[in-house]
């Protein structure tokens, strides 16, 4: 049986990141809905919602060894969130 997971936001997803091993089952999605979300890709379960932007999240990247997520928003702000 093949598992299908749906990762949903209220607006367009602008970035999708895959954490490095041993957390490679985790995905981070950034969205125009002003949030980032961490998901378990095996189940589609939402694990955490990262908030703080006042406008669309335009992009995101992982810091060294995947310990943080750095996001850039249309509000002119970069935010840093822990992945733990």
d(CA 74, CA 84): 25
Global confidence as pTM: 0.89
Q: What is the pLDDT of residue 9?
A: 87
- d(CA 14, CA 67) in angstroms, rounded, equals 21
Domain 13-82 architecture:
Beta Barrel (2.40)
pLDDT along the chain (84 residues), means of 10: 71 94 94 96 93 98 94 98 89
Tell which phi-psi region holds residue 14, choosing left (phi > 0), alpha (psi between -120 and 50) or beta: alpha
Domain-wise residue ranges, the chain = 13-82
């Amino acid at each position: 049986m093949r598992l299908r997971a749906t990762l949903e936001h209220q607006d367009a997803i602008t970035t999708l990141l895959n954490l490095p091993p041993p957390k490679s089952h985790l995905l981070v999605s950034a969205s125009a809905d002003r949030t980032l979300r961490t998901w378990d890709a095996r189940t589609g379960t939402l694990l955490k919602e990262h908030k703080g932007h006042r406008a669309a999240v335009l992009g995101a990247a992982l810091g060294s060894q995947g310990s943080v997520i750095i996001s850039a928003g249309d509000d002119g702000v970069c935010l840093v969130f822990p992945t733990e």
